[in-house]
């Protein structure tokens, strides 16, 4: 973890208390705490991942300029979570199955008391609040993972340009064809070699594989003053993703994106 003085300087520069970014981060933390509660109640394994885990290790919480929060689960835990999670007055589950124009192959838990403008065309989503991402990991051959990822990426690019009833209907049809193809081919692909642990088909070739020995049994890490599950070998996990993850990027060239967000009273 970086020294406290530098951490405070970064916080004051990028996400001071009361700033829009910090408010978004704290709302995401509320969602994570609820997800953690659900997972504990139902014995579901998960862990902080990607930049969220990096933030926990290097900053003790969010990376000061980060505006998202990621966790991962194995397929069996992911399916169980989707089944047991119940929407309430504050949070709702979003997947490609319950939101017509949501294309992604992983889940989001959305806050019901905010609206966030994401990159791309999301005004037709049923749910548009602040969210955390829940990624599903499963064994799959690399070539299929990359191919499906490329197809869904292309469909997402089309969606960004899709306006009007007919264009959206075409996107919806293409989505059904994509996930129908995945459902038909997935049972056959399990017989192919090089079945490493990847994110679910469609997440795209930018994601590296994961090593199960670095993840299980899950350990614990401090994040924003709370303890959350983390990969067993955090160092190996982060080195595989980021290399020398303790080094800060060039802050003078850092492009910080903060999504426009409207907050509503949720008391």
pLDDT at residue number 157: 82
Mean pLDDT of 110-135: 87
Is the pLDDT reported for residue 181 higher than 60?
A: yes
Specify the residue for token string 């190996």.
236
Say if residues 218 and 208 touch (Cβ distance below 8 Å). no
For 4-137+206-263, give the CATH class: alpha beta
**Mean pLDDT, range 97-110, rounded to an integer:** 94
Q: Which residues pair with 139 in a beta bridge?
A: 197
Of 9-13, 22-26, 44-48, 140-144, give the lowest mean pLDDT range.
Answer: 140-144
Closest listed residue to residue 51, CA positions, set 36, 41, 30, 66: 66
Which residue in this structure is represented by tokens 């980060």? 66
Residue 196 or 129, more confident: 129
SS3 107: strand
Which pLDDT score is estimated for 72? 97
Average pLDDT of the chain? Answer: 90
HSE-CB for 148 with a 13 A CA cutoff: 27
Share of the chain above pLDDT 70, in %: 96
The pLDDT of 62-71, averaged and rounded, is 95
Between CA 91 and CA 47 the distance in angstroms is: 20
Q: What's the pLDDT at 205?
A: 56
> Any idea which residue has 């869904």 for tokens?
152
Lowest mean pLDDT among 63-77, 213-227, 247-261: 247-261
Check pLDDT > 70 for residue 266: no
Please enumerate in sequence order all residues whose Cβ is within 8 A of that of 146, keeping only pairs 6 or more positions apart, or say none: 205
Place of tokens 């926990």: 56
User: What is the pLDDT at residue 14?
Assistant: 94
Predicted pLDDT at 192: 85
Cα angle 44, 50, 53; round to 5: 75
The model's pTM is: 0.93
Question: What are the residue boundaries of the structural domains of the chain, listed by start?
Answer: 4-137+206-263
């Amino acid at each position: 973890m970086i020294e406290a003085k530098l951490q405070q300087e970064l916080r004051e520069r990028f996400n001071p208390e009361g700033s829009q970014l910090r408010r978004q981060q704290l709302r995401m933390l509320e969602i994570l705490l609820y997800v953690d509660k659900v997972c504990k109640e139902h014995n579901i394994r998960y862990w902080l991942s990607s930049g969220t885990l990096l933030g926990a290790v290097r900053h003790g919480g969010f990376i000061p300029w980060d505006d998202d929060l990621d966790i991962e689960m194995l397929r069996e835990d992911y399916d169980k979570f989707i089944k047991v999670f119940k929407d309430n007055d504050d949070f709702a589950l979003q997947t490609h199955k319950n939101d017509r124009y949501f294309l992604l192959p992983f889940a989001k838990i959305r806050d019901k008391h905010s609206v966030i403008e994401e990159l791309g065309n999301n005004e037709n989503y049923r749910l548009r609040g602040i969210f955390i991402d829940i990624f599903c990991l499963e064994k799959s051959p690399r070539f299929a993972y990359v191919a499906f990822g490329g197809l869904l990426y292309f469909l997402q690019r089309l969606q960004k340009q899709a306006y009007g009833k007919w264009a959206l209907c075409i996107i919806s049809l293409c989505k059904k064809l994509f996930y129908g193809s995945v459902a038909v081919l997935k049972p056959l692909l399990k017989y192919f070699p090089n079945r490493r642990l990847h994110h679910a088909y469609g997440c795209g070739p930018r994601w590296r594989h994961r090593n199960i020995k670095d993840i299980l049994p899950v350990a614990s890490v401090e994040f924003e003053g709370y303890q959350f599950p983390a990969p067993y070998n955090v160092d190996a996990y982060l080195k595989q993703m980021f290399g020398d993850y303790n080094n800060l990027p060039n802050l003078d060239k850092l492009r910080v994106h903060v999504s426009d967000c409207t907050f509503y009273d949720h008391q």
